[in-house]
Structures are given as C-alpha cells and as structure tokens.
Amino acid sequence: MPKAVLRNIGSSPKKLRLIADAIRGKTVDEALAILQFMQKGEAPTLLKLLKSAIANAGSNHDLRADDLYIAKITIDGGATMKRFMARARGRACRIRKRTSHAKIVLREKFSMAKFAVSAQTAEAGGKKTVKKAASKPAASSKPAAKAANPAAAKKTTTKKTTKPAGGKE
C-alpha cells in the first residue's frame, strides 16, 4: 500500500479535515482535480502530499496512478504552541497555535480484467492447493474426560450431629 505522511503542518486539524473529507474515497484523478480548484488555504499542502503518495506508488510499488484511489486519509493533531495575546487592563489571554499531521494511504482499484488474468494463470498452472482446517482431537476429548471424572471422584460426606444440651429433640 503506497502512502505518504506530512508532519507539523501549520494549520489546525479542524481546517484540514474539511479538505480531507472532500477527497476521501475518491479516485486519484478526481482528488487531484478537486484539490487544484478548492478555495481553501491548505488545499495546496494536501495536493502536494497526494502527489508524493502517487510518486511513492509508482517508484516503490510499480502501480499506475489511473488504478489508484484514496483508501484512507487521516488528519491528526500535532504539537500545540502556546502563545499569549495582550488584552485590556494589563491582562493576557492564551492562544493555542495548532499543528497537524496528515497521512494518505492509496490502494489499487479492483478490476475484473486483472481478476480474469489471474484466474487464467491459476488454471494454467494446474495445481491447486487447498488447506484444510486441522481438527483438534484433544480439545474434543477434554469435555468427555471432565464429565467422566467428576462422577467417579465424587465423595460423600456425612455430618456429625450433636444432641442439644437440654435433652429435648
């Protein structure tokens, strides 16, 4: 699975998630078009990240961009820098400058043509390997052994009874 990660983006996760939601699940071509014309400040940042993921798919996994879609895109919060803003009467308020981490994971679209080719090559090979789930005879005999043992090992105990001190029964 080709992926790309960008850390410490100088924008809040809330703003980046708006952009990420627009391209989640789309094909790579659709996502590129959406990001190029989106009127958001951080859209070029995610566009650059998507292009990096496409390049990783081509160089590391030998995949074409036409066959890919965005399987997963996550925006997580990064480090938060604390700053202050001067207010009236000598007071100060805290400002949190948020950063983000973004991760894009691409997957190959399922195509019937590839499935047909792989099925033909499997048939041409002639050998099919079928794995059977191994049954556990020890596991099935344990409950029977437990059922037999308690009946044989059961002890009967008798209580000693004492007569009351008053002599009445």
Q: From 89, 118, 96, 92, select the one nearest 11 (Cα to Cα).
A: 96
The share of the chain scoring above pLDDT 70, in percent, equals: 67
User: Is 150 a residue whose pLDDT tops 70?
Assistant: no
User: Is 134 a residue whose pLDDT tops 90?
Assistant: no
Give the tokens for residue 40. 């958001």
| Mean pLDDT within 77-88 | 97
User: Which helix (H) or strand (E) segment is 22 a member of?
Assistant: helix 13-23
For 3-110, CATH number out of 3.40.50.720, 3.40.80.10, 1.10.600.10, 3.90.470.10 equals: 3.90.470.10
Q: pLDDT per residue over 3-58, tens digit each? A: 999 999 999 999 999 999 999 999 999 999 999 999 999 999 999 999 999 999 99
User: Where on the phi/psi map is residue 162: left (φ > 0), alpha (ψ -120 to 50), or beta?
Assistant: beta
What pLDDT does 141 receive?
54
- Confidence bin at 144 (pLDDT 50/70/90): low
Q: Which residue has the tokens 């997957």?
A: 107
Which 3 state secondary structure label does DSSP give 134?
coil
Do 40 and 29 meet the contact criterion of CB atoms below 8 Å apart? no
Could you tell me the residue ranges of all domains in the chain?
Answer: 3-110
Q: From 101, 98, 102, select the one nearest 80 (Cα to Cα).
A: 98
- Confidence bin at 162 (pLDDT 50/70/90): confident
**Residues found in the chain:** 169
Q: What is the mean pLDDT of the chain?
A: 84
User: Is 2 a residue whose pLDDT tops 60?
Assistant: yes
Q: Report the alpha-carbon distance of residue 15 to residue 40 in Å, rounded.
A: 9
What pLDDT does 129 receive?
56
Give the tokens for residue 39. 């009127």
User: Where on the phi/psi map is residue 32: left (φ > 0), alpha (ψ -120 to 50), or beta?
Assistant: alpha
What pLDDT does 110 receive?
80
- Confidence bin at 106 (pLDDT 50/70/90): very high
What pTM, to 2 d.p., does this model score? 0.64
Cα torsion 68, 70, 51, 7 to 10°: value is -150
